[in-house]
Amino acid sequence: MFHVLRAVVSPPPTDRELACAAASGERAAFDALYQRHCRVVHGILVARLPWPLAEEAVQEVFLTAWQKLGGLRDPDRVGPWLCQLARNRAVDLLRKRRETEPLPDVLPDRPRPTAEAQLILRHLADLPETYAETLSLRLIEGFTGPEIAERTGMTHGSVRVNLTRGMKLLRERLTPEAS
Q: Does domain 14-98 have CATH number 3.40.50.2000?
A: no
Spatial contact of 48 and 88, defined as CB atoms under 8 Å apart: no
CA pair distance 103, 7, nearest whole angstrom: 50
Q: How far is CA 52 from CA 36, 48, 76, 96, 125, in A?
A: 22, 12, 31, 15, 14
Question: Environment class of residue 5 by beta-carbon count within 10 Å: exposed (0-12), middle (13-18) or buried (19+)?
Answer: exposed
Predicted local confidence at residue 57, as pLDDT: 95
Q: What is the pLDDT of residues 60-70, one digit of tens each?
A: 999 999 999 99
Q: What is the pLDDT of residues 104-159, one digit of tens each?
A: 666 556 566 688 888 888 888 889 988 999 999 998 889 999 999 999 999 999 99
Q: Where are the domains of the chain?
A: 14-98, 114-179
Q: Which DSSP category does 77 fall into?
A: G
| Percent of residues, the chain, with pLDDT higher than 90 | 65
For all residues of the chain together, what is the average pLDDT? 87
Q: What is the pLDDT of residues 165-177, one digit of tens each?
A: 999 999 998 886 5
pLDDT confidence tier of residue 95, bands split at 50, 70 and 90:
confident
Pick the CATH number of 114-179 from 1.10.10.10, 3.40.50.1260, 3.30.70.100, 1.25.60.10: 1.10.10.10
